Chains A and B, each alone.
Chain A
Amino acid sequence: MPNVPRRPFLLGLGAATLAAAPITEGRAQTPPNALVIGHLAELQTLDPAQAITVSDFRILSNMYDGLTRFRDASLEIEPGLAASWSISPDGKTYTFKLRDDVTYHDGSRFDAEAVKFNFDRVLDKSHPYYHTGPFPFIFTLGPIQQTEVVDPTTVVFHLSEPYAPMLTMLAAGVGSIAGISPAAVKKFDREFSRHGGGTGPFSFQLWESNQRVVLVANKKYWRGAPKLDGLVFRPIVEETSRVSGMLSGETDLTIEVPADNVPELKQDKRFTYYEQQGPHLWYLMLNTKQKPFDDKRVRQAVNYAINRQGIVDDLLKGTATVAASVTPPAFNWAYDKALAPYAYDPAKAKALLAEAGYPNGVDVTFYVTQNGSGMLSPVLMAAAMQADLAAVGVRAKIESYEWNTYLGRLNGGMHAADIAEMSFMTTDPDMHPSLALRTGAAVNSGDYSNPEVDRLIDTARAETDTGKRAELYDQLEHIVHDDAPWVFVCHWKQNAVASVRVKDFFLMPSFGTRFDRTYKA
C-alpha cells in the first residue's frame, strides 16, 4: 500500500502563508474621510510628462497644477500657477508671471527655475533627467524652443512659430508638467513615475499595483485645503464590475458607466447621475481622393443618409449628442450654436447620389474597429450605419479590425477603404483640424484638401486674440460642414455616478477631475 508523506504538504502551507505576508503589511493607510472612486483603468504612471491616457490624467489632475487651468466645468482658461501672462505681438514669446506662494508636496518651493527644469527635462535631449522619458505627448504643448528664467517669478517661453493653442494646452493634462517638483525628479530619478510629486490639492501616498492608488489631502494647498482627507482610486476595468461596485456600496463614485446601465442608475435614489460634454468627435472618414467620395454631393448624401439621432438615442442611450461639424460644442468659446447637424433625409441622399451619377447606388468598403479609446460601440454603430446607407443605395462592405491593427491600416492614408470610423479628443479646437483636415497633415487619412480650410487653420493657429480666433473656428466649422470630408456622427458625453452623500462634485470637459471642494455628507 502506498505511503503518502505528509510533511511536504505542511511545508507548502507554511510557504504560502509566508508568501502572503508582504501583501498584508503596510495597511491602514487610507485616510478615514476619503472618497473611493471606481476608476476605469489601472494607473500607468504618476509622471504627467509620460502619461498617455485620459484615465491617468483623471488621477494626476489632483496632484499637479498647470501654469494656466480650465475654469470649473468649462474649456475656457483662467490663471493657475501663473498669476498672469503676456504674449508678444508676433505670438512667439509668452511671458508668465508666477505665483510666489506655492510650495511642492515635498516642501520645496515652486519658482521659475522649477518651470525651466520641467520643460528642459522633456525637450532637451542633453538634460540630465531626459532619460526618465519617453515623453510622447509633449509635442501637443507647441513648438517650444526654450524657456528662460528672468527672475524667480518670471519665466519666458520662446516658440519657433506662433501657436495660439499654447495657453489651453498648458491647462490640459500634459501642461501640468509645469507643476512637477524638480526635487522629486532628482530624488526618485527613473522611479519618479511610481512616486510623483507636485503642487496639487492631493499628494501621493500609496500605489498598490492593480489594487488602489491613495492620495492624501495637501493641507497647505495654495487654493485652500481640500475638504476630503484623501482619494482612493480603485481600478475596475470591467464596466459591469464598476456598476456592481456602486450597487454594493464599495465605491462612492465611478466615472464612465456603460450606456446600458444609465437609465437604471438615473432612477436609483441612492445615486446622483452626472454628465458633461467632452471635447470629442466620433466620425466617419471618407476617402476624398477616389470615387465615389471625391464628389462633394456623395459626401453630403451619406451625411443625410444616416439616422444619427437614432444611433444616439437607441444605441448610446443618450450618452452622446449629434454632431454638426468638426468642432465639438464642449468648446463653448469656439463653437457656433447656430450650425445645425445634417438632417436625416434619405430621399435627399438618394437625389444627391443620382445627381452625382450614381442613380443605382454604389459599392464601398467600410473599415470598422472592434474597440478603441473614444470609439464608443463601434461595431453596433457600424451595423446601424450600414443599414441606413444600404437604404439609399450605398452598399458598404464592412471590414473590421482590432484597434491597434486598425490604426496601423489607416496610417499613411485609407488605401483600399472608402469609409473608416474614427474618433478624436482634444482640449483645443486647433488640434484636430490641423492634424486631420489640413492638406497633407499627418493623420489626414482621407486625403482631404481645401485651401480655404488650410488658410483658416493656419490663421487661427497664429491668432492670439481669443475672440478673433473663435470667429475663425466658426467659419471653419461652416465650410467643413458643407464640404463634408467626414460624416459627423456624434459627440460623446462623459458620465459619472456618485452616492447621494457626495456633494460639490462636477465633471470637467477637459477630462480632468477636481475633487478639492468635494465632500461626503
Chain B
Amino acid sequence: MTRFILTRLALLVPVLLGVTIIVFVVMWLVPGDPATSILGTFATPENLAKVRSELGLNEAMPVRYAIWLTGVLHGDLGQSYILHRPVLDELLDRLVPTLLLAGASLALCSVVGILLGIVAAIRQNAWPDRVITLVVLLGVSTPSFWLGMLLILWFAVRFAWLPAGGMQDMFGPGGPGEIARHLILPTLALAAVPAAVLVRLTRTAMLEVMRQDYVRTARAKGLREGRVILRHAFLNALVNVVPIIGIEAGYVLGGAVYIESVFQWPGIGRMLVNAISTRDIILVQGGVLIVAAAYVVINLLTDIAQGVLDPRIRNA
C-alpha cells in the first residue's frame, strides 16, 4: 500500500509539469499580453514597449517559462502583473474558500447521490425509483450557474432566508456559522449535477451487485434485508462508485469557476477568470497549478479508498 501511494505521489510531478507547460504555451498563443490588457485603448507602441520592459515581457517564451519554473522550485510562484503582489499570497487567500466550497459540494453530492442511488435501486421501478429518476434527469440537465441564479432569486431575494452572495456578512461578527450560512446556496448549486450523476451510477452499480450469487446466498442464509443491502451489496457497489467521486472532484473544482462568479465566492475560480481576461499569465499558472494539484490529490485519495475497499486493487 505504501509503495502504491508513493508511486502515485511521484507521478504528481510529471503531471503538474505537463499542466504548467500546456497552460504557458496556450496563454502565449492567445493574442494580447498583460501590457495590452493594462493599456487598453491607450496601447500606443511607445507605451507598450515601456510597460513590457518593466514587466519583463521582452524575454522569449521559453526563457520566461524557465525563469518561472526556477522560481517555483525555490518556492516562489512569482509576482502578479495586475495585482502587484506575490502569486502565493493571493493563492493562499483564496485556497481555503475554494476548498471549503468544493469540499462541501463533494461531500453533499456523495452523500445525497449514494443514498438516493441505493433507494432507487432497492425500489427499482416502484414510485421512489421513478421520482428519483425524474429529479435526476432535471439535475443532470440544469446548468449550475442558472440553478445558482434561481436559488438567489428564491432564497435571497424573494424569501430573504439566505445571503445572495459573498462568504461573510459585511457587519457580522464572523465565525463558522456565518460562513456556513453563506455556503448553503453555492454548495447546492455546485452539487446538483454531480449528485445526479452519482445517483445514476450508484443505482446501476447496486442493481448489478444485487443480481450476484453471493447476495442471493446472503439472503438464503436468512440475513436481514438491511444487512444484505448494506454489507453485501452496497460495500461492493461502492468500489465502482468511489472512482467516480474522484472524477466528480474535477467537475466540482471546474464548476467552482462559474459558481464563484455567481455567488461572489472569494475563491480561486473567480481569480482565474479575471487573470485569464487580463492575461496575467503568472497568476493563471499559479492558480492552475493549485487546482491541478488538488485534483490529483483527490484522485489519489479515491484510489486509496478503492484500494482499502477492494483487496484485488490494493495488491495488484
Contacts and interface: CB of A to CB of B under 8 A. Distances in A.
Nearest to A432: B41
A208 B266 contact: yes
Contacts of A42: 274
Interface residues of B, number: 69
A5 interface: yes
A451 interface: no
Given A28-B174, A210-B271, A407-B41, A16 B235 contact: no
Contacts of A140: 42
B82 A411 contact: no
B262 A238 contact: yes
Interface string B222-263: 000000000100010000000000000000000000000111
Contacts of B42: 136-137, 140, 435, 443
A136 B51 contact: yes
B266 A209 contact: yes
A492 to B, nearest CB: 14
A250 interface: yes
A405 interface: yes
A17 B176 CA distance: 9
Nearest to A22: B96
A508 B157 CA distance: 30
B100 interface: yes
Contacts of B48: 411
Given A45-B84, A238-B262, A52 B157 contact: no
A247 B155 CA distance: 12
A193 interface: yes
A314 B179 CA distance: 42
A443 B173 CA distance: 51
B84 A50 contact: yes
Interface string B33-48: 0001111111111111
Contacts of A190: 84
Contacts of A32: 171
Nearest to A401: B31
Interface string B146-181: 000100110011001001111110111111100100
Interface in A14-69: 16-17, 19-20, 22-28, 30, 32, 34, 36, 42, 44-45, 47, 50, 52
Contact of B41 (A4, A45, A424): A424
A411 B37 CA distance: 13
B174 A44 contact: no
Contacts of A235: 264
Contacts, number: 185
Interface string B15-49: 00000000000000011100011111111111110
Contacts of A86: none
Given A136-B39, A211-B166, A405 B171 contact: no
Interface in A112-145: 133-134, 136-137, 139-140
B109 to A, nearest CB: 17
A465 to B, nearest CB: 28
Contacts of B103: 16
A237 B264 contact: yes
Contacts of A407: 32, 36, 40-41, 43
Chain A interface residue bracket vs B: 35 or more
A412 interface: yes
Contacts of A146: none
Contact of A404 (B166, B168, B279): B279
B171 A2 contact: no
A412 B48 CA distance: 12
A212 interface: yes
Nearest to A424: B41
A241 B185 CA distance: 14
A86 B101 CA distance: 59
Contact of A2 (B45, B176, B267, B310): B310
Nearest to B45: A442
B213 interface: no
Given A2-B235, A412-B45, A211 B167 contact: yes
A27 B170 contact: no
Contacts of B231: 1
A27 B179 CA distance: 12
Contacts of A191: 85
A240 B262 CA distance: 8
A244 interface: yes
Interface in A380-412: 403-405, 407-409, 411-412
B112 interface: no
B219 interface: no
A16 B31 CA distance: 40
Nearest to A132: B84
A158 interface: no
15 contacts: A19-B99, A23-B97, A30-B171, A52-B39, A190-B84, A191-B85, A208-B266, A209-B90, A209-B93, A211-B166, A241-B264, A244-B156, A250-B165, A373-B41, A403-B277
Given A237-B261, A240-B149, 20 more contacts: A2-B310, A3-B308, A19-B100, A23-B96, A23-B167, A30-B170, A45-B84, A47-B84, A134-B51, A136-B42, A194-B84, A194-B85, A209-B266, A211-B168, A237-B274, A245-B164, A247-B164, A249-B160, A404-B32, A423-B41
Interface of A: 1-5, 16-17, 19-20, 22-28, 30, 32, 34, 36, 42, 44-45, 47, 50, 52, 133-134, 136-137, 139-140, 190-191, 193-194, 208-212, 232, 234-238, 240-241, 244-245, 247-250, 372-374, 403-405, 407-409, 411-412, 422-424, 435, 442-443
